[in-house]
Amino acid sequence: MLVLGLMVLAVAGCGGEEQALEDTQIIIGLQAEPTTLDPAQLTDYNSSRAAMEMYDSLIRFKDGSTELEPGLATEWEISDDGLEYTFKLRQGVKFHDGTPFDADAVKFNIDRQIDPEHPYHDTGEFGYADFTFGMVEEVVVVDAETVKIILNEPFAPFLGNMAMNSASMVSPEAIKEYGKDISQNPVGTGPFKFVSWNPGVEVILEKNEDCWRGAPNVDRLIFRPIVEDQTRLTELEAGNIDFIVGIPPDDLERLKDDADLQVVEQPGMHTWYVALNCQRPPFNDVRVRQAVNYAINKEAIVDNILKGTGVLAKNILPPVIWSYTDDVQDYSYNPEKARELLKEAGYDESMTIDFYVPKSGSGMQQPVTMATAIQSDLEAVGIKTNIQQLEWGTYLDKMFQPVDKSDVLMHELSWLGDNGDPDNFLYILLSGEQWPTNGFNEGFYKNPEVDKLLKEARIISDQDKRVELYQQAQKLIMADSPLVVVDHETQIVAMKKKIKGFELHPTGVFRFDKVSIE
Amino acid sequence: MLNYILKRLLALIPVLIGVSILVFLILHLSPGDPAQIMLGTKATQQSLDALREQLGLDLPLHQQYFQWITNVLKGDWGRSIQLKREVLPLVLTRFKATATLAVFAGIIAITFGVLAGIVSATKQYSLWDRLLMFLALVGFCLPVFWLGLILQVIFGLKLNWLPVSGMYPPGQTGLGNMLKFLILPGFSLATASMAEIARMTRSSMLEVIRQDYIRTARAKGLPERVVIYSHALRNALIPVITVVGMQIGFLLSGAVLVEIVFGWPGIGTLMVNGILARDFPLVQGTILFVATTYVFVNLIVDIVYAFLDPRISYN
């Protein structure tokens, strides 16, 4: 300590304070280093939060919701058969490098991701390409300001897909110039433009005075990766940074009481669940699945482990997504009922089930602690589980094996919504057509009635009818109990009080374009 | 001497080949798939297969190894799968940050460690001796991780004297700007080594002080200062140098924790993230680089012996 004191004095003597900057900036503490700033290659929050300030897509999610509004397209038309989407593009928009935005740029951006023959297909790895554009047959340039996208089958949520990160428009000239290095040299049309990226240190963006949406109020955004949660928190409290994510649940109350800080929360498009293998004993018996659901005290997990960083889930669909209903079978904690159901099903209590758990992972909250709570709840009704912890990459690999190869009976996973459409949760996670390796129904749930409803709902475009179909599907699904839904994670950020007008977005990206500093 | 150095340099080759094979095998045989991690949870099987093919992950292991190692020898260290950047420049930049931190910590550890050791030894069983050795014991036992967080709260948050984390003030670079940012991580990293060096210096010094030539020096009427600093210290330092050499390895590897706590963009964080993402080219490159550095540092330590103690020669 003595040594440290001496060093502090020495340095304090030789360095003055940095001159105060006259322009405004917001320093954001991220949980890790962004891996890419190319929207077509984004797969994690840290990257998308730093990148998405620089881009626009043809269609935008409205502020604070997943409703759609015009973006780089001013209007659009859908053919009666639901196969052709014609977009009128906004005039006079330029990319940050001066390249004009037009129909060719739209075609270039989509083809680059989905066409292996495209000359710039090898400029990146596009994890979301099939997901976003898998149904696209062809992109046709009608004229400079009109583009037509032809689908190979009707797909009602397609407009929502056109608002996803991966549908953002990158300057074709920049991709041609930088090739693979477009990852580190992003050029979009959005409210902020790229200044520099010092790896491991910071990503700096500055305001785009010529943005078609109007220039933002803040001059500069600086994204700093700070891996350790406590460090990030200390930085905010010390006043060195302005905005943080990933607040440890235990510190949340203290931050809310801090007079200089504000905490902003919003329920996210997220569901955390335990999936049960519906094709194998004992979970091929609906009574055992229901028993597991009753036996787990979800409320206690939300209150005691998540401590207000998640809201109790009643349904696989998060409440922020349209067509949500809580008029579904209620699985409130009821160990008595669980025991009854198990007895009825003739459950063999000598059985020990391997419960697969990742050590950490995107959207997984506190996977191990939550699993331990679940384990002891299950033990109380006579279901013995053995927690198998795996590291995230290995874990995903194991969970997405085809049904004949999968020996996983029970595992945790979570889903983060993409396009704000119920299809994005219900069809993708629970349709019988989506068993791995086709999709993400990794509990191998299959109910022909549900499949029919979900299939129809993704084809028709009548919104009211879609709501009705999805609500029917939700009821059937929850009665079958293929998943134990535990919570919907709340997005929580903390920032200095002087930041005004910040609103979280359900997709998890940040929008600083309308934010001002007092 | 030159012969010895050449021999040691030649011995480096099998060591590095061994390291490269070992690293390669550990990474490739452990479960986990870089394609899956890279494309995220929402990639389809087709795109995963295509990426595996593109990365050459579908080739037999020995082919993958030879492809990688020939490229490395040609100066092409490949491209990081996760960070989408060339490996070699990435490793060099990050290593510079780690080396700066390690050297800074090393200077603190050696200067104050040796000083404390001398004071303790010359004033054996005094209050100073007891206090310093108690502090050394505590310093040796403190987990770096915890120490780092505590220092951040005291000096960064409560007193607000020093920056909490990072390497530069926002938007700036340069060594001068870095200095303030070095102190807390440097001190956290140095503590354990400082303690170890202090204890080693003390015991080695005590042994030397009791030897005949020291008595002779004193009998000749040399001032105590000269006896301690020019006669005793030089010989007492030999075992200390060994410890210092080993501590350099510790400083480079112990830096991982400090780097994470302090958001220091060094090679440790790079490697940990790389391992978690199964970023084969990056991790292989990083480890190969660190191993090479380590071997060279050890060689330098051995050469320093000979300079310090004329009785040691390598012929």
ipTM, two decimals, is 0.84
pLDDT for B295? 81
Residues of chain A with pLDDT under 50: 12-21
Q: Would you call A237 an interface residue with chain B, using a CB distance cutoff of 8 Å?
A: yes
Coil/strand/helix, residue B99: helix
**Nearest-angstrom CA–CA distance, A475 and A212:** 44
pLDDT in tens, B38-89: 777 777 777 788 888 888 888 888 888 998 889 888 988 888 888 888 999 9
From chain A, the residues in CB contact with B34 under 8 A are 393
Query: How much is the average pLDDT of B124-136?
Result: 91
Q: Which two tokens stand for residue B279?
A: 């970023």
Q: Name the minimum distance, in Å, from the CA of B162 to any CA of chain A.
A: 8
Contact B149 A231 (CB under 8 A): yes
Q: Name the minimum distance, in Å, from the CA of A446 to any CA of chain B.
A: 20
Residues 6+ apart with CB under 8 A from A375: A355, A385, A387
The minimal CB distance from A202 to the residues B41, B164, B170 is found for B170
Coil/strand/helix, residue A302: helix
pLDDT in tens, A62-89: 998 888 999 999 999 999 999 999 999 9
pLDDT for B254? 66
pLDDT in tens, B77-115: 888 888 888 999 999 999 989 989 999 999 999 999 999
CA distances in angstroms from B85 to A182, A240, B77, listed in the order given? 10, 29, 11
**Nearest-angstrom CA–CA distance, A494 and A109:** 35
**Nearest-angstrom CA–CA distance, B223 and B216:** 12
In order of start, what are the domains of chain A with their CATH numbers?
270-490 (3.10.105.10)
Give the closest residue to B4 by CA, choosing from B309, B305, B303: B303
Give bridge partners of residue A168 from the DSSP assignment.
A57
Which chain A residue shows the shortest CA-CA distance from B161?
A: A8
Give the closest residue to A113 by CA, choosing from A98, A130, A137: A130
Give me the numbers of helices (H) and strands (E) for chain B, helices first please. Answer: 13, 0
Burial of residue B230, with CB atoms counted within 10 A of its CB: 0-12 exposed, 13-18 middle, 19 or more buried: exposed
**Nearest-angstrom CA–CA distance, A291 and A289:** 5
Is the omega angle on the peptide bond into residue A282 within 30 degrees of 0, that is, cis?
yes
Residues 6+ apart with CB under 8 A from B20: B69, B72, B284, B288
Contact B40 A32 (CB under 8 A): no
Query: How much is the average pLDDT of B181-191?
Result: 93
A485, A24 contact by CB (below 8 A) = no
Give the count of beta carbons closer than 10 Å to the beta carbon of residue B12: 15
Q: Which two tokens stand for residue A335?
A: 């160990």
Q: Give the side-chain half-sphere CA count within 13 A for A447.
A: 23
pLDDT for A453? 96
Distance of CA A12 to the CA centre of its chain: 44
Which chain A residue shows the shortest CA-CA distance from B90?
A: A199
Q: Would you call A326 an interface residue with chain B, using a CB distance cutoff of 8 Å?
A: no
A56, A168 contact by CB (below 8 A) = yes
Residue to mutate among A183, A198, A228, A425, with most B CBs inside 10 A, is: A228
From chain B, the residues in CB contact with A440 under 8 A are 41-42
Which chain A residue shows the shortest CA-CA distance from B104?
A: A7
Q: Would you call B230 an interface residue with chain A, using a CB distance cutoff of 8 Å?
A: no
Coil/strand/helix, residue B212: helix
B251, B174 contact by CB (below 8 A) = no
Q: What's the maximum distance between 2 C-alpha atoms anywhere in chain A?
A: 78
Give bridge partners of residue A310 from the DSSP assignment.
A489
pLDDT for A10? 52
The mean pLDDT of chain B is: 86
Is the omega angle on the peptide bond into residue A74 within 30 degrees of 0, that is, cis?
no
CA distances in angstroms from A344 to B9, B57, B106, B160, B286, listed in the order given? 74, 49, 68, 64, 58
Q: Give the side-chain half-sphere CA count within 13 A for A320.
A: 26
Residue to mutate among A1, A2, A6, A7, with most B CBs inside 10 A, is: A7
Q: Would you call B115 an interface residue with chain A, using a CB distance cutoff of 8 Å?
A: no
pLDDT for A57? 96
Q: Would you call B275 an interface residue with chain A, using a CB distance cutoff of 8 Å?
A: no
